[in-house]
Every structure is written in structure tokens, then in C-alpha cells.
Amino acid sequence: MITTNNAYPSVLTRQVRRFLHSVIVLGACLSASIAAPLSAAPVAQHGLALHGEVKYPEDFSHFDYVNPDAPKGGTIRRAVIGNGYDSFNPFVARGIPAAGIENYLYDSLLESSADEPFSVYGLIAESIEIPEDRSYVIFNLRKEARFQDGEQITAADVKFTFDLIKTKGHPRRKVYYEDVVEAIVINPHRIKFEFSEKRNRELPLIIGQLSIFPKHYWKDREFG
């Protein structure tokens, strides 16, 4: 008896259908990717405001509450009520740091404005870049920025500072930056901070308050 196996046509039919379905899906994906607009690169900004817009324009010379013609010289004494101090390092848990010392030793990437709710402007950083999804922030450093000893401040110093604070800094500072995944040096004057949390609008401003340490000084010294 001669029999005919009718399974082959049905198998071929299923294979053809699967192939056609794959072609249709691939075509739809390609069409969607072509139609979708490319996200624009973030624009460099001279300042950031947590609420609304910054008050001061680009290249402003001084804050309104500063007198650029103030006389130089003289003596000022400021008092602090407390238990004294036994440390000049406010970045670690050990000891009691001198009041206000953090603001006297090192500059930060950005400077807060005293006549706005929460706005910051470039200090060590000349400009800031933030994408729409707020997944990272990029700081472009001023090439003229120097430490007190004349050494240039670079992105390597910024990364060194961040990594040092995360590993050996005061526990509360580690928590402060816990949503920052990594600091990446793009070039000597450009550094990127990647975030794990995209809903925190304050995080780029918080990173901008980071005091920058001289790597050439601290790399061979015990930070704690």
C-alpha cells in the first residue's frame, strides 16, 4: 500500500508563517526606531535652580548682595558656641572638626546663591549638563581653576575626592551620595556622575556642593 504523508505541507506552512511574522515584527521595530526622535544632547548651563529659573545671567560679575568695591584689609573675629575642636578634617567621623572649616579649606564645583531658594552657579565648574531623564550630570571644569599651591584642578581630582569620600569619608556623607553610581573622567576638564535614581531633582545640585581635594596632596597621606 502506498501512503502519502500530509505532515510536510503543514510543517512548511507553519515555517512560512513564522518567517513572515518575523519579517513583519522586524519591519515594525525598524519603522518605530526610524520614526522615534533622537534625544537631544543636554545643553551646558552656567547655573541650576531646583525651582524655576536661575536669577543671574551667564557671565554675571557678582551676586547682588556682594560689594565688588568693598575696601580690602582689616580684621574680623567670629565666635562659635560649642565644645571646642580637635580636628581640621570635617570629612571623616574621627574627632570634632573646627566650626566652618569645610568652607575654608576647599572650593566646591558649584556655589550657592544666598538670595534664591536653592540655586547654584559654576565655581570650579564652568558649566553643567543634565539630560532630560536626569540619569547623570556632567561638570565642565574651568581650566584656570587652581588649588592654593598653584596646581591645576582637574577631573582626576574630582573623581579622587568622590571615591575617597565614598570609601573613607564620614558615614553620613556616604549616605548623601548613595544614589551616585560612579564618577567617570571624560577628559582632564570634564567629569560625569551617573545616577541610579532619576527622580531626585536635587542630586545634581548636591554633587555640585562637593568640596574638591587635591589628589597630589592626599594620595600618599592617611585621610582618616
Are 179 and 197 in contact by the 8 Å Cβ rule? The answer is: yes
DSSP letters, 153-191, are P-HHHHHHHHHHHHHHS-HHHHHHTTTEEEEEEEETTEE
Are 221 and 164 in contact by the 8 Å Cβ rule? The answer is: no
Query: For residue 112, which phi and psi values (nearest 5 degrees)?
Result: -75, 145
What pLDDT does residue 57 have?
Answer: 95
Q: pLDDT-derived band of residue 42, with 50, 70 and 90 as boundaries?
A: confident
Cell readout for 205 is: 545640585
Mean pLDDT in residue range 143-162: 97
What pLDDT does residue 25 have?
Answer: 47
Residue 18 has pLDDT above 70, yes or no: no
Nearest Cα to Cα of residue 186 among 220, 224, 140: 140
CA distance 44 to 190: 12
pTM score, whole prediction: 0.78
Q: pLDDT-derived band of residue 2, with 50, 70 and 90 as boundaries?
A: very low
Domains of the chain: 40-54+107-218 (3.40.190.10)
Mean pLDDT in residue range 54-67: 95
Are 98 and 85 in contact by the 8 Å Cβ rule? The answer is: yes
Mean pLDDT in residue range 192-215: 92
Are 129 and 43 in contact by the 8 Å Cβ rule? The answer is: yes
- Bridge partners of 47, per DSSP, are 121
